Structures are given as C-alpha cells and as structure tokens.
Amino acid sequence: MQPSPTPPLRLRPDLSDLPTLIDYIESTGEACDFRPADTMAFSIAAEELFANTINHSNPPATAIEFSLTCANGLATAIYTDDAASFDPTAAEDADTTLPLDQRRIGGLGIHMIRKSMPTFTYQRIEGRNQTTFARPIKP
C-alpha cells in the first residue's frame, strides 16, 4: 500500500458535488489498493455525512472538505463542514431489531458508519465540525 498523495477535496454543500466526492474516494482507493469492500465502506460513510450536511444543517453549511489517506495498513477519512455543531458519534443507535414499521425514521446511515469503521470520532474545531473515520486496509 502506497501512502496517499491526494490533496483534500473542497466541495459545495450541493448534491451535484456528490459524484465528485465518490470519484475522489474511488481514485484514492485505487492509489491505495483498496479492496472493493473498503471503497464501498468509505463511499457510504462519506455520502451519509455529505447528505446529512445538505439536508439537516441549519443554518446551511457553506463549505465541505474531505480527505482520505492511507498509510501503514490504515485508511483514514476526515470530513469537515462549517455547519452548526452536530456530533454524529453522539446520535442515538438505530434499533435494527424492531420491525420496519416500528423503527424511527433516520439513523441507519450513522449506524452503517459505526458498523463499518472501527474509528469514528468527532471534534468541533474553530467553528467547524470534523468527523474522522478509519478502518484497517488489507491488501
């Protein structure tokens, strides 16, 4: 696995930028020799955070930054936005044991991040939300 040379990606909080985000993840995954499951896990996690920023931030975010790096068998993503403070790691766990008609709406995306990323942390830094998620990458 080569260390990732890709610079951070700057995005507008607009769904039209989602393909750019996914392309960035796929390109970085190729450079880092990700397995397809790793690329998919990072794509799902990033898409979830991106969609949450667009759909739920109030006041709306004006800027998003995303980076994905790999080194020493670990891939690490950092998702940052300038929306109001929101800690996704503090969100209530989705109860997947309930029948679908009894579950509350929402929460499954964050549940998927928790299940696919052994590292999932949040910080509020200089008025920005910074969510980090990482997983070991096997050749």
66 phi-psi bin (left φ>0, alpha ψ -120 to 50, beta other): beta
d(CA 70, CA 76): 6
**Residue predicted with more confidence, 86 or 6:** 86
What CATH superfamily is the domain 9-136? Histidine kinase-like ATPase, C-terminal domain (3.30.565.10)
Q: What is the pLDDT of residues 81-136, one digit of tens each?
A: 999 999 998 877 655 555 555 556 555 567 789 899 999 999 999 999 999 999 99
d(CA 25, CA 139): 17
Single pTM value for the model? 0.88
Domain ranges of the chain: 9-136
Q: What is the pLDDT of residues 48-66, one digit of tens each?
A: 999 999 998 989 999 999 9
